[in-house]
Each structure stands twice: as C-alpha cells, then as structure tokens.
Amino acid sequence: MEYTRRSVLTALGLGAVAAATGCSASSGNSQATADGPVEGEISLLTPLYEGSTGKDLLEGKLLPAFKQKNPNVTVKVDYTTYAALNEKITTSLAGGLMPDVVMLGVGWIPPFAHKKVLAPLPDDLAKRYEYEDRVLEPSRYDGKLYALPMVLDTRIVTYRKDLFAEAGIKAPPKDWAELREMSKELARSDGSGKLSRVGFDPFSIDLRQCWETFLFANDGNLFDESGHEVKFNDDRGVEALQLFLDVIKDKSADYSFKSAAGQPTTLQQGRAAMMMSNNSLWVQLKKQNPELLKEDKVGAFILANKVPAMLQGGTMVARSASSKHAAAAQALVEFMGTPESILPTAEQRGSVPGVQDLRTSDYVKENGFVKLALDNMSKARSEGGTAAWMEIREKIKTTLETAVVGKRTAKEAIDELANLSKEAISRL
C-alpha cells in the first residue's frame, strides 16, 4: 500500500504542520508474513521503560533473556515518552523508517491497523494465556489480532479514609449524587474563602480520561460498534462533563489544584479527600508516603453512577507490517507478551499485568490498587473504538476544557467535540 506523509499524519492526528514538508514514503510489503528465519537486527520503539531503572530492566534482564532464546537476533531500542509516541511513530512511518516492533496505547490499534501500518498476528496468540475479554478487545481491529496486551493502567477513585472518618462518612459514594454531597462535606476553605482542600479532585488525571470514565459510569459510549457513529453526544456525555462544572460551582473542586509531575498528589498532601487516580499511585505512595499505606489511610473504589465503570488504558506490543525481519520481530512481540516479561514491567511502573496468570503473584497480592483493578476487569471500558481516534483524542481535552473554564456550557462543548469527531471520521 502506498501512502503519503500528509495522509498518514492527517489520519493519525498530526496533519497540518508535519504535512507541510511534502515528504512521502512507501510502506513496502504492508502485509509481510512472519515466515523465514528468526534472525537479523530489529528495532523496538517503547515508552514503557523510562529512566535508568527501566533501561536496566529492558536491556539488563529482558532483552538478554530474549537473546538467549533467539541468538541470531539483535534488538536496537528507541526510547520515547507516551506524550511523544504518536508523533514519533508517524514521523518514522512517513520517513520510511518504521520500527519493527512498537508499543502502542489502548485505542491506537484501529487507526494504525486501518492504515495497514501493523501486521496482523496469529489469532492463537490470544489463547496462550488467560485474558479477560475486555483486555483483548483493544488489541483487535476488523476481527483480527494486531497486538498483545502487556500492562494495563486503570482509572479509579482514591480517597483518604482518615478524612472520611473525621467527617463521619462510613463508605465511599455509590453514585454521583452521593459523590457530589460528600464532596461538599469534605471540602475546606481558609479564612479568605479560598479552597484549602477539595472534596473531590477530578482534574488530577488527564481531562480526557476523566471524562471518559464518567461517561462510561453513566452507561454511555464513545462510538458505535462500527466506529463510524458518534455516541457520546447524548445526555450521558453531557451529564458526565456537567458534573465537573457542578463540583466547581459547589466549591468542592478547583481546576487550578495541580501537583507537579513526580511530586506528591493532592490526595497525598491532604489537599483532596477524593481524587481520580491511576493504579500506579500505590507505588508512588510506597516511595513518598509509606505511612499512609501502613496506617491504612488511603482507600480506592470503582466510580459508579448508572453502572460501575473503570477506564482501562495500557500498553500493547505490535509488529510493523513493513519489517524486513518479520519472523524476528514477531518473536520479540511474542516474548514481550509473556508473563515473564510482563510481571517485572508491571512492577517497575505500578501497572496492572495484562494476563490473569499473574493474579497469584506476590506483586498483585501486595498492591491494593492493582488487585482492585484485576478484581473489577468485568467493569473495565477502553477509549478509542474508531480508526479516526488519533485525530479525535488530541481534540478532546482542549474542547472539554472550554466548558471547565466557563467559556461554553457542557452541552456546547460536547456538541463541538461531536462535530469535530464526525469530521475526522468522514475523512477515513
């Protein structure tokens, strides 16, 4: 399949600026099979193994183990961040230098598989280990398996048990009405009337992911099963965004409450009684505030309104369709999708392992947030669901933010996002 830099970047959400270079590239054999000898030098693009600790794990332990099983394969690693991953992939693709193996976020398979950037994998790989159905869903497109799950990152609500006890609150909220009322009870202001503690901090995670979690808890959907029809622009999507405006109006939340990356969160600081969280917060608590865990002052629950729902993000590993060493690339994909690779990767990040076989590991037993996530995988929902996702996802936060800061109503922001999404889908 032939495609230009402009068509790829537009479809994947990086259109105007990058396309101005006017470059183009051929994908070569876009459906290369994995037959042939397992040999050659292959490249791996990954956002997972950050810093010296991550590099030591990947290059000091995992890849040597892979090399032992596949002595004729050499792996060249290209490290990146999640923030830069999309642009890194599309720029590499347009330049004809697509990595042989790439690690992708949840929701990313349909856009790249639609463009035939990824090679389908043998479906029997999905049966090697015991997966929850919802874990495998984001790995498929058009009925085919394109990636293997590695680690999951779920969005849950964490809360301060000690602050609940002080307020006489005995249990987490069962729905949004209770969440809003409890938030009012738990919020505190200083002498000037300025919030010193929010009752609920929905802005502690990415606004896109937070709104999606609330949308799913309101029994809503982003798109229909075909990925061609917008479904979030009904009352369920509007109500999800409106709740953020309501807790701000109640003076029990504040969009300006922020914690610097890597620093203790508002929950850890005692500046939030409840907070939207990633399951990796457990590892952060162990490092920064172990006393909060030791004294059992932090708990977690699954957000619920019409239904309980937990946003499931994460990282998957896939093979490029243009790899010149397809057998070697697929061997690496299969290796990175094994429990032996997944467990240490999850441990170093505080992530949820993507296979049920690891439920009995000491890591899962000790990590309360990971265990909560695994126990509630039946309630997990994933973002994405359309081949236009990479373009749409970049517009969600900025569009919703206009309502949060008072420039639009919730309905106006959702209607605008729906129009932008329909335009993106129409270009498929």
The confidence score (pLDDT) of residue 1 equals: 36
The confidence score (pLDDT) of residue 413 equals: 99
Same fold, 2-153+313-380 and 154-311+387-426: yes
Domain boundaries, the chain: 2-153+313-380, 154-311+387-426
Instruction: For 234-267, give the DSSP string.
Output: SHHHHHHHHHHHHHHHTTS--TT----TTSPPHH
Report the 10 Å Cβ neighbour count for 233. 18
Q: Which residues contact 157 (CB under 8 A, 6 or more apart)?
A: 172, 274, 275, 276, 277, 300, 301, 302, 303
The confidence score (pLDDT) of residue 34 equals: 80
pLDDT per position as a tens digit, 368-407: 999 999 999 999 999 999 999 999 999 999 999 999 999 9
The confidence score (pLDDT) of residue 5 equals: 39
The confidence score (pLDDT) of residue 33 equals: 64
CATH topology for 2-153+313-380? Answer: D-Maltodextrin-Binding Protein; domain 2 (3.40.190)
pLDDT per position as a tens digit, 330-339: 999 999 999 9
Per CATH, domain 154-311+387-426 is 3.40.50.300: no
Phi-psi label, residue 315: left if phi above 0, alpha if psi -120 to 50, beta otherwise: beta
Q: What is the pTM of this model?
A: 0.91
- The one-digit pLDDT tens for each residue of the chain (428 residues) are 333 334 444 444 444 333 333 333 333 343 446 888 999 999 999 999 989 999 999 999 999 999 999 999 999 999 999 999 999 998 988 888 899 999 999 999 999 999 999 999 999 999 999 987 788 999 999 999 999 999 999 999 999 999 999 999 999 999 999 999 999 999 999 988 899 999 999 999 999 999 999 999 999 999 999 999 999 999 999 999 999 999 999 999 999 988 887 899 999 999 999 999 999 999 999 999 999 999 999 999 999 999 999 999 999 999 999 999 999 999 999 999 999 999 999 999 999 998 988 999 999 999 999 999 999 999 999 999 999 999 999 999 999 999 999 999 999 999 999 999 999 999 99
The confidence score (pLDDT) of residue 261 equals: 79
Between helix 207-217 and helix 389-404 the angle, nearest 10°, is 90
Q: Which residues contact 268 (CB under 8 A, 6 or more apart)?
A: 284, 285, 288, 289, 292
The mean pLDDT of the chain is 92
Angstrom distances, CA of residue 71 to CA of 46, 383, 420 = 22, 38, 49
